[in-house]
Structure 1
Amino acid sequence: MNNMLIATALRKDLELYFSEDDLARNIFYTSSLPKDMVQCSLKIKDDMILAGLPYFVEAFRYLGAENLKLEAFEQYEGKKFLKSEKAEIKFELPFSIALTGERIALNLLQQASSIATYTNQFVEIAKEKGVSILDTRKTTPGHRSLEKYAVRIGGGHNHRLGQTDLWMVKDNHKSFFGGVKQAVEFFQSMKGFYTPIEVEVHNMDELDDVLSLGIRHIMLDNFTPEMIEQAVAKKPSGVTFEVSGGIRLSNLNEYLIDGLDAISVGALTYGAPSVDVSLKYHR
Protein backbone atom coordinates (compact mmCIF):
# COMPACT_ATOMS: atom_id res chain seq x y z
CA MET A 1 0.00 0.00 0.00
CA ASN A 2 1.17 3.55 -0.73
CA ASN A 3 1.26 5.31 2.63
CA MET A 4 1.34 8.80 1.10
CA LEU A 5 -1.70 8.20 -1.09
CA ILE A 6 -3.64 6.71 1.84
CA ALA A 7 -2.72 9.67 4.06
CA THR A 8 -3.93 12.12 1.41
CA ALA A 9 -7.15 10.22 0.81
CA LEU A 10 -8.03 9.93 4.50
CA ARG A 11 -6.97 13.37 5.71
CA LYS A 12 -10.38 15.03 5.31
CA ASP A 13 -12.14 12.09 6.96
CA LEU A 14 -9.72 12.08 9.89
CA GLU A 15 -10.10 15.83 10.29
CA LEU A 16 -13.84 15.27 10.70
CA TYR A 17 -13.40 12.32 13.07
CA PHE A 18 -11.03 14.17 15.37
CA SER A 19 -13.18 17.30 15.32
CA GLU A 20 -15.72 15.33 17.36
CA ASP A 21 -13.17 15.15 20.18
CA ASP A 22 -12.68 18.92 19.92
CA LEU A 23 -9.00 18.76 20.82
CA ALA A 24 -8.55 22.51 20.36
CA ARG A 25 -11.05 23.30 23.14
CA ASN A 26 -8.39 22.49 25.71
CA ILE A 27 -5.14 22.72 23.81
CA PHE A 28 -3.29 23.28 27.12
CA TYR A 29 -4.26 19.79 28.26
CA THR A 30 -3.41 18.02 24.99
CA SER A 31 -0.11 19.88 24.58
CA SER A 32 0.95 19.03 28.15
CA LEU A 33 0.59 15.26 27.73
CA PRO A 34 3.96 13.51 28.08
CA LYS A 35 5.57 12.51 24.80
CA ASP A 36 7.53 9.56 26.18
CA MET A 37 7.46 6.48 23.96
CA VAL A 38 5.17 3.68 25.16
CA GLN A 39 4.95 0.03 24.16
CA CYS A 40 1.54 -0.59 22.55
CA SER A 41 -0.32 -3.88 22.18
CA LEU A 42 -3.32 -4.17 19.89
CA LYS A 43 -5.23 -7.09 21.40
CA ILE A 44 -7.45 -9.36 19.27
CA LYS A 45 -10.22 -10.55 21.61
CA ASP A 46 -12.68 -12.33 19.28
CA ASP A 47 -12.73 -14.69 16.32
CA MET A 48 -12.42 -12.21 13.46
CA ILE A 49 -10.96 -11.06 10.21
CA LEU A 50 -8.88 -8.01 11.05
CA ALA A 51 -9.61 -5.11 8.70
CA GLY A 52 -9.10 -1.37 8.68
CA LEU A 53 -5.45 -1.21 9.69
CA PRO A 54 -4.71 1.54 7.12
CA TYR A 55 -7.31 3.68 8.94
CA PHE A 56 -6.00 2.63 12.35
CA VAL A 57 -2.41 3.53 11.49
CA GLU A 58 -3.30 6.76 9.72
CA ALA A 59 -5.29 8.00 12.72
CA PHE A 60 -2.07 8.08 14.75
CA ARG A 61 0.00 9.42 11.87
CA TYR A 62 -2.52 12.26 11.50
CA LEU A 63 -1.58 13.29 15.05
CA GLY A 64 2.12 13.25 14.23
CA ALA A 65 3.28 9.64 14.72
CA GLU A 66 5.68 9.70 11.78
CA ASN A 67 7.53 6.66 13.16
CA LEU A 68 4.46 4.46 12.61
CA LYS A 69 4.61 2.80 9.18
CA LEU A 70 1.73 1.03 7.49
CA GLU A 71 4.13 -1.49 5.96
CA ALA A 72 4.70 -2.98 9.43
CA PHE A 73 0.99 -3.85 9.66
CA GLU A 74 0.23 -5.06 6.13
CA GLN A 75 0.79 -8.75 6.99
CA TYR A 76 -2.14 -8.60 9.44
CA GLU A 77 -4.71 -6.91 7.20
CA GLY A 78 -7.36 -9.44 6.17
CA LYS A 79 -5.89 -12.14 8.41
CA LYS A 80 -8.18 -14.52 10.31
CA PHE A 81 -7.60 -14.56 14.06
CA LEU A 82 -9.06 -16.85 16.71
CA LYS A 83 -9.99 -15.57 20.16
CA SER A 84 -8.15 -18.54 21.68
CA GLU A 85 -4.88 -17.35 20.13
CA LYS A 86 -4.92 -14.19 22.29
CA ALA A 87 -3.04 -12.48 19.47
CA GLU A 88 -1.34 -9.12 19.97
CA ILE A 89 0.22 -6.70 17.50
CA LYS A 90 2.97 -4.64 19.10
CA PHE A 91 4.30 -1.20 18.15
CA GLU A 92 5.51 2.04 19.71
CA LEU A 93 3.93 5.48 19.99
CA PRO A 94 4.45 8.66 21.97
CA PHE A 95 2.14 8.52 25.00
CA SER A 96 0.41 11.76 24.00
CA ILE A 97 -0.50 10.38 20.58
CA ALA A 98 -1.52 6.96 21.86
CA LEU A 99 -3.87 8.50 24.40
CA THR A 100 -5.32 11.10 22.03
CA GLY A 101 -5.83 8.82 19.03
CA GLU A 102 -6.72 5.43 20.46
CA ARG A 103 -10.50 5.78 20.59
CA ILE A 104 -10.95 6.96 17.02
CA ALA A 105 -8.35 4.48 15.73
CA LEU A 106 -10.05 1.60 17.55
CA ASN A 107 -13.55 2.69 16.47
CA LEU A 108 -12.49 2.59 12.82
CA LEU A 109 -10.69 -0.73 13.21
CA GLN A 110 -13.57 -2.34 15.08
CA GLN A 111 -16.15 -1.18 12.55
CA ALA A 112 -14.12 -2.44 9.59
CA SER A 113 -13.24 -5.75 11.28
CA SER A 114 -16.88 -6.37 12.24
CA ILE A 115 -18.03 -5.86 8.65
CA ALA A 116 -15.20 -7.93 7.15
CA THR A 117 -15.85 -10.79 9.58
CA TYR A 118 -19.60 -10.80 8.94
CA THR A 119 -19.16 -10.53 5.18
CA ASN A 120 -16.79 -13.47 5.16
CA GLN A 121 -19.39 -15.69 6.82
CA PHE A 122 -21.72 -15.08 3.85
CA VAL A 123 -18.89 -15.49 1.35
CA GLU A 124 -17.76 -18.84 2.74
CA ILE A 125 -21.27 -20.27 2.42
CA ALA A 126 -21.99 -18.82 -1.03
CA LYS A 127 -18.69 -19.74 -2.69
CA GLU A 128 -19.70 -23.38 -3.03
CA LYS A 129 -22.29 -22.31 -5.59
CA GLY A 130 -20.14 -19.61 -7.20
CA VAL A 131 -22.51 -16.85 -6.04
CA SER A 132 -20.95 -13.46 -5.26
CA ILE A 133 -21.93 -11.54 -2.13
CA LEU A 134 -22.49 -7.81 -2.68
CA ASP A 135 -22.98 -4.89 -0.33
CA THR A 136 -25.42 -2.00 -0.89
CA ARG A 137 -25.46 1.78 -0.36
CA LYS A 138 -26.94 1.22 3.12
CA THR A 139 -23.79 2.55 4.74
CA THR A 140 -23.18 4.88 7.66
CA PRO A 141 -23.00 8.49 6.40
CA GLY A 142 -19.35 9.54 6.35
CA HIS A 143 -18.09 5.96 6.53
CA ARG A 144 -18.89 4.55 3.10
CA SER A 145 -15.25 4.29 2.08
CA LEU A 146 -14.34 2.40 5.25
CA GLU A 147 -17.34 0.09 5.12
CA LYS A 148 -17.09 -0.72 1.42
CA TYR A 149 -13.37 -1.41 1.89
CA ALA A 150 -14.15 -3.78 4.77
CA VAL A 151 -16.59 -5.73 2.59
CA ARG A 152 -13.81 -6.33 0.06
CA ILE A 153 -11.39 -7.44 2.78
CA GLY A 154 -14.04 -9.95 3.89
CA GLY A 155 -14.20 -11.41 0.37
CA GLY A 156 -17.36 -9.63 -0.75
CA HIS A 157 -17.90 -7.29 -3.69
CA ASN A 158 -19.02 -3.68 -3.85
CA HIS A 159 -22.33 -3.16 -5.62
CA ARG A 160 -21.74 0.53 -6.35
CA LEU A 161 -20.04 3.33 -4.46
CA GLY A 162 -22.50 6.00 -5.63
CA GLN A 163 -25.67 6.42 -7.67
CA THR A 164 -23.92 7.20 -10.92
CA ASP A 165 -21.65 4.12 -10.95
CA LEU A 166 -24.61 2.26 -12.40
CA TRP A 167 -28.09 3.46 -13.32
CA MET A 168 -30.42 1.46 -11.08
CA VAL A 169 -34.13 1.52 -11.92
CA LYS A 170 -36.07 1.10 -8.68
CA ASP A 171 -39.73 1.20 -7.67
CA ASN A 172 -39.85 4.96 -7.25
CA HIS A 173 -38.45 5.47 -10.74
CA LYS A 174 -41.06 3.17 -12.25
CA SER A 175 -43.83 4.87 -10.29
CA PHE A 176 -42.74 8.38 -11.26
CA PHE A 177 -42.03 7.75 -14.94
CA GLY A 178 -45.06 5.50 -15.48
CA GLY A 179 -43.54 2.05 -15.84
CA VAL A 180 -40.41 0.02 -16.47
CA LYS A 181 -40.02 1.00 -20.12
CA GLN A 182 -40.35 4.73 -19.45
CA ALA A 183 -37.91 4.58 -16.52
CA VAL A 184 -35.34 2.69 -18.60
CA GLU A 185 -35.73 5.20 -21.43
CA PHE A 186 -35.04 8.05 -18.98
CA PHE A 187 -31.72 6.54 -17.94
CA GLN A 188 -30.83 5.71 -21.52
CA SER A 189 -31.33 9.41 -22.28
CA MET A 190 -28.46 10.19 -19.88
CA LYS A 191 -26.13 8.98 -22.68
CA GLY A 192 -23.81 7.15 -20.29
CA PHE A 193 -22.05 5.18 -23.00
CA TYR A 194 -20.21 2.94 -20.53
CA THR A 195 -22.69 3.26 -17.65
CA PRO A 196 -24.72 0.04 -17.30
CA ILE A 197 -28.38 -0.10 -16.27
CA GLU A 198 -29.80 -2.48 -13.68
CA VAL A 199 -33.54 -2.90 -13.18
CA GLU A 200 -35.18 -4.06 -9.97
CA VAL A 201 -38.12 -6.38 -10.61
CA HIS A 202 -40.70 -7.75 -8.19
CA ASN A 203 -42.61 -10.42 -10.10
CA MET A 204 -42.41 -12.61 -13.18
CA ASP A 205 -44.40 -10.23 -15.38
CA GLU A 206 -41.93 -7.43 -14.68
CA LEU A 207 -39.08 -9.80 -15.39
CA ASP A 208 -40.54 -10.60 -18.81
CA ASP A 209 -40.92 -6.87 -19.55
CA VAL A 210 -37.31 -6.14 -18.59
CA LEU A 211 -35.92 -9.06 -20.57
CA SER A 212 -37.80 -7.81 -23.64
CA LEU A 213 -35.97 -4.46 -23.29
CA GLY A 214 -32.56 -6.14 -23.54
CA ILE A 215 -31.43 -5.18 -20.02
CA ARG A 216 -28.31 -7.12 -19.03
CA HIS A 217 -28.40 -6.65 -15.23
CA ILE A 218 -31.52 -7.57 -13.27
CA MET A 219 -32.22 -7.53 -9.54
CA LEU A 220 -34.84 -9.98 -8.35
CA ASP A 221 -36.16 -8.10 -5.34
CA ASN A 222 -37.78 -10.11 -2.52
CA PHE A 223 -38.16 -13.16 -4.77
CA THR A 224 -38.79 -16.43 -2.98
CA PRO A 225 -36.46 -19.35 -3.77
CA GLU A 226 -39.24 -20.86 -5.86
CA MET A 227 -39.60 -17.66 -7.88
CA ILE A 228 -35.83 -17.50 -8.37
CA GLU A 229 -35.86 -21.00 -9.85
CA GLN A 230 -38.57 -19.91 -12.31
CA ALA A 231 -36.60 -16.77 -13.17
CA VAL A 232 -33.27 -18.49 -13.86
CA ALA A 233 -35.07 -20.88 -16.21
CA LYS A 234 -35.71 -17.82 -18.40
CA LYS A 235 -32.26 -16.29 -18.02
CA PRO A 236 -30.64 -15.47 -21.37
CA SER A 237 -26.94 -15.82 -21.99
CA GLY A 238 -24.96 -12.74 -20.97
CA VAL A 239 -27.52 -11.54 -18.42
CA THR A 240 -26.74 -11.30 -14.69
CA PHE A 241 -29.30 -12.03 -12.00
CA GLU A 242 -28.89 -10.54 -8.53
CA VAL A 243 -31.19 -11.32 -5.61
CA SER A 244 -31.89 -8.98 -2.70
CA GLY A 245 -34.27 -8.73 0.21
CA GLY A 246 -34.61 -10.61 3.47
CA ILE A 247 -31.55 -12.80 3.05
CA ARG A 248 -29.69 -13.69 6.24
CA LEU A 249 -27.05 -16.20 7.26
CA SER A 250 -29.80 -18.45 8.59
CA ASN A 251 -31.57 -18.76 5.21
CA LEU A 252 -28.72 -18.06 2.78
CA ASN A 253 -28.48 -21.66 1.61
CA GLU A 254 -32.08 -21.57 0.37
CA TYR A 255 -31.14 -18.83 -2.12
CA LEU A 256 -27.99 -20.42 -3.54
CA ILE A 257 -29.70 -21.54 -6.75
CA ASP A 258 -27.86 -22.56 -9.91
CA GLY A 259 -27.93 -19.74 -12.44
CA LEU A 260 -27.90 -16.98 -9.83
CA ASP A 261 -24.91 -14.63 -10.06
CA ALA A 262 -25.02 -12.52 -6.91
CA ILE A 263 -26.83 -11.79 -3.67
CA SER A 264 -26.79 -8.28 -2.20
CA VAL A 265 -27.12 -7.90 1.55
CA GLY A 266 -27.59 -4.48 3.14
CA ALA A 267 -26.95 -5.94 6.60
CA LEU A 268 -23.28 -6.45 5.74
CA THR A 269 -22.72 -2.78 6.56
CA TYR A 270 -25.60 -1.89 8.88
CA GLY A 271 -26.05 -5.12 10.84
CA ALA A 272 -22.63 -6.67 11.38
CA PRO A 273 -22.18 -7.96 14.97
CA SER A 274 -19.35 -6.14 16.72
CA VAL A 275 -15.99 -7.80 17.29
CA ASP A 276 -13.75 -6.86 20.20
CA VAL A 277 -10.32 -5.24 19.92
CA SER A 278 -8.47 -3.15 22.50
CA LEU A 279 -5.26 -1.16 22.81
CA LYS A 280 -3.04 -1.32 25.88
CA TYR A 281 0.22 0.51 26.42
CA HIS A 282 2.91 0.97 29.06
CA ARG A 283 6.37 2.51 29.43
Structure 2
Amino acid sequence: MERDSQNHGLFKNPDLHHSLRTFLAEDLGRGDITGEAIFPPKAIGNAVFIAKEAMVLAGVEHLAPLVFRMINREITCHPTADGQWVKSGEIILHLHGPLRDLLAGERLALNLAQRLSGIATLTAEFVAAVAAWPVKIMDTRKTTPGLRRLEKYAVHVGGGVNHRYNLNDGILIKDNHIAAAGSIRQAVQKVRDYNGPGKEVEVECETLEQVTEALAAKAEIIMLDNMDPPMMRRAVELINGRAITEASGGVTLNNVGEIAACGVDRISIGALTHSAPAKDISMEMVSGQ
Protein backbone atom coordinates (compact mmCIF):
# COMPACT_ATOMS: atom_id res chain seq x y z
CA MET A 1 0.00 0.00 0.00
CA GLU A 2 2.99 2.27 0.19
CA ARG A 3 3.63 4.31 -2.90
CA ASP A 4 6.41 6.66 -3.87
CA SER A 5 4.78 10.04 -4.37
CA GLN A 6 7.99 11.83 -5.36
CA ASN A 7 7.18 11.33 -8.99
CA HIS A 8 8.44 13.99 -11.35
CA GLY A 9 5.40 13.20 -13.51
CA LEU A 10 3.20 14.61 -10.74
CA PHE A 11 3.76 18.15 -11.96
CA LYS A 12 2.92 17.17 -15.53
CA ASN A 13 -0.27 15.43 -14.50
CA PRO A 14 -3.30 16.77 -16.45
CA ASP A 15 -5.56 16.44 -13.40
CA LEU A 16 -3.20 18.58 -11.35
CA HIS A 17 -3.04 21.18 -14.11
CA HIS A 18 -6.84 21.24 -14.25
CA SER A 19 -7.00 21.77 -10.49
CA LEU A 20 -4.49 24.61 -10.62
CA ARG A 21 -6.45 26.33 -13.37
CA THR A 22 -9.56 26.04 -11.20
CA PHE A 23 -7.68 27.51 -8.24
CA LEU A 24 -6.40 30.37 -10.40
CA ALA A 25 -9.88 31.08 -11.72
CA GLU A 26 -11.18 31.23 -8.15
CA ASP A 27 -8.52 33.75 -7.15
CA LEU A 28 -8.38 35.89 -10.30
CA GLY A 29 -12.06 36.15 -11.09
CA ARG A 30 -12.34 38.38 -14.17
CA GLY A 31 -8.87 39.80 -13.60
CA ASP A 32 -6.73 41.73 -11.13
CA ILE A 33 -8.35 45.16 -11.29
CA THR A 34 -5.71 46.56 -8.94
CA GLY A 35 -2.56 45.38 -10.70
CA GLU A 36 -3.97 46.01 -14.17
CA ALA A 37 -4.82 49.59 -13.20
CA ILE A 38 -1.35 50.37 -11.87
CA PHE A 39 0.99 48.57 -14.31
CA PRO A 40 1.04 48.62 -18.12
CA PRO A 41 1.04 45.17 -19.81
CA LYS A 42 4.73 45.30 -20.72
CA ALA A 43 6.05 46.43 -17.33
CA ILE A 44 8.68 43.96 -16.14
CA GLY A 45 9.70 43.29 -12.56
CA ASN A 46 11.56 40.98 -10.19
CA ALA A 47 10.34 39.31 -7.06
CA VAL A 48 11.58 36.84 -4.48
CA PHE A 49 9.95 34.40 -2.08
CA ILE A 50 11.45 34.70 1.40
CA ALA A 51 11.17 32.13 4.19
CA LYS A 52 10.06 34.00 7.29
CA GLU A 53 10.80 31.04 9.58
CA ALA A 54 12.80 27.83 9.47
CA MET A 55 11.14 25.08 7.41
CA VAL A 56 11.49 22.17 5.04
CA LEU A 57 10.51 23.39 1.60
CA ALA A 58 7.79 21.74 -0.44
CA GLY A 59 5.90 23.27 -3.33
CA VAL A 60 8.66 25.75 -4.15
CA GLU A 61 10.83 23.82 -6.60
CA HIS A 62 8.14 22.66 -9.04
CA LEU A 63 4.70 23.84 -7.98
CA ALA A 64 5.14 27.59 -7.48
CA PRO A 65 6.93 27.96 -10.86
CA LEU A 66 4.14 25.96 -12.48
CA VAL A 67 1.53 28.36 -11.12
CA PHE A 68 3.37 31.42 -12.44
CA ARG A 69 4.04 29.84 -15.83
CA MET A 70 0.37 28.95 -16.19
CA ILE A 71 -0.31 32.68 -16.03
CA ASN A 72 2.56 33.66 -18.33
CA ARG A 73 5.17 31.33 -19.83
CA GLU A 74 7.64 34.21 -20.04
CA ILE A 75 8.06 34.32 -16.26
CA THR A 76 11.45 32.88 -15.30
CA CYS A 77 11.84 31.08 -11.97
CA HIS A 78 14.94 30.05 -10.03
CA PRO A 79 13.81 28.03 -7.01
CA THR A 80 15.48 26.28 -4.10
CA ALA A 81 14.97 22.51 -4.18
CA ASP A 82 12.12 20.95 -2.25
CA GLY A 83 13.23 18.92 0.75
CA GLN A 84 15.80 21.50 1.86
CA TRP A 85 15.81 22.86 5.38
CA VAL A 86 16.03 26.66 5.14
CA LYS A 87 16.47 29.33 7.77
CA SER A 88 14.36 32.39 8.44
CA GLY A 89 15.26 35.16 6.02
CA GLU A 90 16.52 32.93 3.20
CA ILE A 91 15.46 33.69 -0.36
CA ILE A 92 13.92 30.49 -1.73
CA LEU A 93 12.63 31.58 -5.16
CA HIS A 94 13.67 34.26 -7.67
CA LEU A 95 11.09 35.45 -10.21
CA HIS A 96 11.37 37.69 -13.27
CA GLY A 97 8.58 38.68 -15.62
CA PRO A 98 5.58 40.95 -16.28
CA LEU A 99 4.61 42.73 -13.08
CA ARG A 100 0.92 42.16 -13.59
CA ASP A 101 1.44 38.41 -13.85
CA LEU A 102 3.83 38.14 -10.93
CA LEU A 103 1.25 39.80 -8.71
CA ALA A 104 -1.60 37.74 -10.15
CA GLY A 105 0.14 34.48 -9.29
CA GLU A 106 1.44 35.54 -5.88
CA ARG A 107 -1.40 34.41 -3.64
CA LEU A 108 -2.00 30.94 -5.06
CA ALA A 109 1.70 30.12 -5.28
CA LEU A 110 2.23 31.28 -1.70
CA ASN A 111 -0.83 29.48 -0.35
CA LEU A 112 0.30 26.17 -1.82
CA ALA A 113 3.96 26.56 -0.86
CA GLN A 114 3.06 27.56 2.69
CA ARG A 115 0.66 24.64 3.09
CA LEU A 116 3.00 22.02 1.63
CA SER A 117 6.05 23.33 3.47
CA GLY A 118 4.10 23.07 6.71
CA ILE A 119 3.35 19.41 5.99
CA ALA A 120 6.93 18.65 4.97
CA THR A 121 8.29 20.33 8.08
CA LEU A 122 5.96 18.52 10.48
CA THR A 123 6.75 15.22 8.77
CA ALA A 124 10.48 15.88 9.11
CA GLU A 125 10.01 16.58 12.82
CA PHE A 126 8.25 13.24 13.31
CA VAL A 127 10.92 11.42 11.31
CA ALA A 128 13.64 13.01 13.43
CA ALA A 129 11.82 12.05 16.63
CA VAL A 130 11.98 8.32 15.74
CA ALA A 131 15.42 8.30 14.15
CA ALA A 132 16.69 5.84 16.77
CA TRP A 133 14.24 3.13 15.67
CA PRO A 134 13.73 1.30 12.33
CA VAL A 135 10.19 2.57 11.89
CA LYS A 136 8.45 4.35 9.02
CA ILE A 137 6.38 7.50 9.47
CA MET A 138 3.31 7.32 7.22
CA ASP A 139 0.46 9.59 6.21
CA THR A 140 -3.25 8.75 5.89
CA ARG A 141 -6.22 9.72 3.70
CA LYS A 142 -7.00 12.61 6.06
CA THR A 143 -6.06 15.16 3.43
CA THR A 144 -7.60 18.36 2.11
CA PRO A 145 -10.09 17.47 -0.65
CA GLY A 146 -8.50 18.26 -4.00
CA LEU A 147 -4.98 18.50 -2.59
CA ARG A 148 -4.21 14.85 -1.82
CA ARG A 149 -1.54 14.40 -4.51
CA LEU A 150 0.27 17.51 -3.37
CA GLU A 151 -0.06 16.86 0.36
CA LYS A 152 1.23 13.30 0.01
CA TYR A 153 4.09 14.67 -2.08
CA ALA A 154 4.91 17.02 0.80
CA VAL A 155 4.94 14.09 3.25
CA HIS A 156 7.42 12.28 1.02
CA VAL A 157 9.59 15.40 0.73
CA GLY A 158 9.65 15.59 4.52
CA GLY A 159 11.00 12.03 4.76
CA GLY A 160 7.73 10.20 5.35
CA VAL A 161 6.18 7.30 3.47
CA ASN A 162 2.82 7.39 1.71
CA HIS A 163 0.05 5.07 2.85
CA ARG A 164 -2.61 4.10 0.31
CA TYR A 165 -3.62 6.94 -1.99
CA ASN A 166 -7.30 6.06 -2.25
CA LEU A 167 -9.77 3.26 -1.51
CA ASN A 168 -8.70 1.38 -4.62
CA ASP A 169 -5.08 1.43 -3.57
CA GLY A 170 -5.17 -1.15 -0.80
CA ILE A 171 -7.35 -3.21 1.50
CA LEU A 172 -7.84 -1.80 4.99
CA ILE A 173 -10.54 -3.40 7.12
CA LYS A 174 -11.57 -0.84 9.74
CA ASP A 175 -13.87 -0.95 12.76
CA ASN A 176 -17.04 -0.20 10.79
CA HIS A 177 -16.26 -2.93 8.27
CA ILE A 178 -15.80 -5.40 11.13
CA ALA A 179 -18.99 -4.33 12.89
CA ALA A 180 -21.07 -4.62 9.71
CA ALA A 181 -19.46 -7.90 8.58
CA GLY A 182 -19.87 -9.56 11.97
CA SER A 183 -16.23 -10.46 12.62
CA ILE A 184 -12.67 -9.96 11.43
CA ARG A 185 -12.63 -13.49 10.04
CA GLN A 186 -15.69 -12.89 7.89
CA ALA A 187 -14.47 -9.50 6.69
CA VAL A 188 -11.05 -10.88 5.70
CA GLN A 189 -12.60 -13.85 3.90
CA LYS A 190 -14.96 -11.61 1.94
CA VAL A 191 -12.22 -9.25 0.74
CA ARG A 192 -10.02 -12.19 -0.27
CA ASP A 193 -12.88 -13.78 -2.19
CA TYR A 194 -13.66 -10.48 -3.92
CA ASN A 195 -10.13 -9.34 -4.73
CA GLY A 196 -8.43 -12.66 -5.37
CA PRO A 197 -4.90 -13.63 -4.35
CA GLY A 198 -1.93 -11.30 -4.22
CA LYS A 199 -3.54 -8.41 -2.33
CA GLU A 200 -2.24 -7.59 1.14
CA VAL A 201 -4.94 -7.27 3.75
CA GLU A 202 -4.62 -4.82 6.64
CA VAL A 203 -6.92 -5.10 9.66
CA GLU A 204 -7.49 -2.42 12.26
CA CYS A 205 -7.41 -3.88 15.79
CA GLU A 206 -8.26 -2.17 19.06
CA THR A 207 -7.80 -5.16 21.43
CA LEU A 208 -5.46 -8.12 21.83
CA GLU A 209 -8.41 -10.39 21.09
CA GLN A 210 -8.82 -8.72 17.71
CA VAL A 211 -5.08 -9.07 17.08
CA THR A 212 -5.38 -12.81 17.72
CA GLU A 213 -8.33 -12.99 15.32
CA ALA A 214 -6.48 -11.02 12.63
CA LEU A 215 -3.49 -13.36 12.96
CA ALA A 216 -5.77 -16.39 12.62
CA ALA A 217 -7.21 -14.84 9.45
CA LYS A 218 -3.63 -14.41 8.18
CA ALA A 219 -3.81 -10.64 7.73
CA GLU A 220 -0.55 -9.36 6.29
CA ILE A 221 -0.70 -6.02 8.15
CA ILE A 222 -2.18 -5.38 11.58
CA MET A 223 -2.97 -1.83 12.66
CA LEU A 224 -2.77 -1.29 16.40
CA ASP A 225 -5.33 1.44 16.78
CA ASN A 226 -5.36 3.74 19.82
CA MET A 227 -3.52 1.23 22.00
CA ASP A 228 -1.52 2.48 24.95
CA PRO A 229 2.19 1.53 24.94
CA PRO A 230 1.89 -1.47 27.33
CA MET A 231 -0.87 -3.04 25.23
CA MET A 232 0.99 -2.19 22.03
CA ARG A 233 4.13 -3.94 23.28
CA ARG A 234 2.09 -7.02 24.12
CA ALA A 235 0.49 -6.92 20.66
CA VAL A 236 3.89 -6.71 18.96
CA GLU A 237 5.11 -9.67 21.02
CA LEU A 238 1.96 -11.62 20.15
CA ILE A 239 2.35 -10.92 16.44
CA ASN A 240 6.05 -11.85 16.62
CA GLY A 241 6.88 -10.95 13.03
CA ARG A 242 3.96 -12.83 11.51
CA ALA A 243 2.49 -9.58 10.15
CA ILE A 244 3.61 -6.01 9.57
CA THR A 245 2.64 -3.88 12.57
CA GLU A 246 1.30 -0.34 12.25
CA ALA A 247 0.52 1.99 15.14
CA SER A 248 -2.15 4.62 14.65
CA GLY A 249 -4.32 6.98 16.66
CA GLY A 250 -3.41 9.81 19.00
CA VAL A 251 0.18 10.07 17.79
CA THR A 252 1.97 13.31 18.70
CA LEU A 253 5.54 14.54 18.70
CA ASN A 254 5.51 14.03 22.47
CA ASN A 255 4.64 10.33 22.36
CA VAL A 256 5.85 9.10 18.96
CA GLY A 257 9.21 8.02 20.38
CA GLU A 258 7.53 5.89 23.05
CA ILE A 259 5.32 4.33 20.36
CA ALA A 260 8.32 3.59 18.14
CA ALA A 261 10.07 1.93 21.09
CA CYS A 262 7.23 -0.63 21.23
CA GLY A 263 8.77 -2.24 18.14
CA VAL A 264 6.14 -1.43 15.50
CA ASP A 265 7.17 -1.37 11.84
CA ARG A 266 5.37 1.82 10.95
CA ILE A 267 3.34 4.65 12.46
CA SER A 268 0.52 6.35 10.53
CA ILE A 269 -0.33 9.91 11.51
CA GLY A 270 -3.35 11.82 10.21
CA ALA A 271 -2.02 15.05 11.73
CA LEU A 272 0.75 15.19 9.12
CA THR A 273 -1.81 16.47 6.64
CA HIS A 274 -4.88 17.55 8.59
CA SER A 275 -3.15 19.58 11.31
CA ALA A 276 0.19 20.80 9.94
CA PRO A 277 0.42 24.60 10.40
CA ALA A 278 1.23 26.54 7.24
CA LYS A 279 4.70 28.05 7.15
CA ASP A 280 5.30 31.78 6.76
CA ILE A 281 6.57 32.69 3.30
CA SER A 282 6.29 36.11 1.68
CA MET A 283 6.82 37.53 -1.81
CA GLU A 284 8.63 40.82 -2.12
CA MET A 285 9.37 42.94 -5.17
CA VAL A 286 13.08 43.67 -5.67
CA SER A 287 15.23 45.66 -8.05
CA GLY A 288 17.57 43.98 -10.56
CA GLN A 289 17.39 40.36 -11.69
TM-score normalised by L of structure 1? 0.91
**Large movers: runs of 4+ above 6 Å:** 1-5, 27-32
Instruction: Give the match for residue 154 of structure 1.
Output: 158
Residue 131 of structure 2, aligned match among 114, 121, 127: 127
Q: Distance in 2 between matches of 1:27 and 1:123?
A: 42
Which amino acid in 1 is paired with 2:85?
K
Aligned AA for 2:127? Answer: V
2:54: which partner in 1?
47
Matched positions, count: 277
Task: State whether residues 81 and 87 of structure 1, in contact with CA within 8 Å, keep that contact through their aligned partners in structure 2.
Answer: yes
Kindly provide the CA deviation profile for residues 8-35 of structure 1, in whole angstroms up to 9, marking residues without a partner as x.
Answer: 44311111211212533x5887766533
| Alignment RMSD | 2.2
> What SS is found at the alignment partner of 2:202?
strand
The residue aligned with 1:60 is 68
> 2:216 aligned to 203, 212, 218, which one?
212
Q: Structure 1 residues 2 and 132, CA, compared in 2 at 3 Å: closer, same or farther? A: closer
Greater per-residue helix proportion: 1
What TM-score does the superposition give when structure 2 sets the normalisation length?
A: 0.89
**Residue 269 (str. 1) matches residue 277 (str. 2):** no
Unaligned runs of 5+ in 1: none
Q: Say if 1:114 and 1:171 are closer, same or farther in 2 by CA, change over 3 A.
A: same
1:8-27 matched pairs, under 5 angstroms? 8-9=13-14, 10-24=16-30, 26=31
Q: Percent identity?
A: 36
1:197 maps onto 2:214 in alignment: no
Q: How far 1:214 moved relative to its partner?
A: 1.0
Alpha-carbon distance change, 2 to 130 in structure 1, aligned in 2, over 3 angstroms:
closer
Unaligned runs of 5+ in 2: 1-5
Does residue 231 of the first structure (1) align with residue 252 of the second (2)?
no
Match of residue 165, structure 1, among 137, 151, 169: 169
Counterpart-to-counterpart distance in 1, 2:277 and 2:69? 28
Distance 1:247 1:156 in 2: 15
Q: Which moved more, 1:58-67 or 1:239-248?
A: 58-67
Residue 117 in structure 1 maps to residue 121 in structure 2? yes
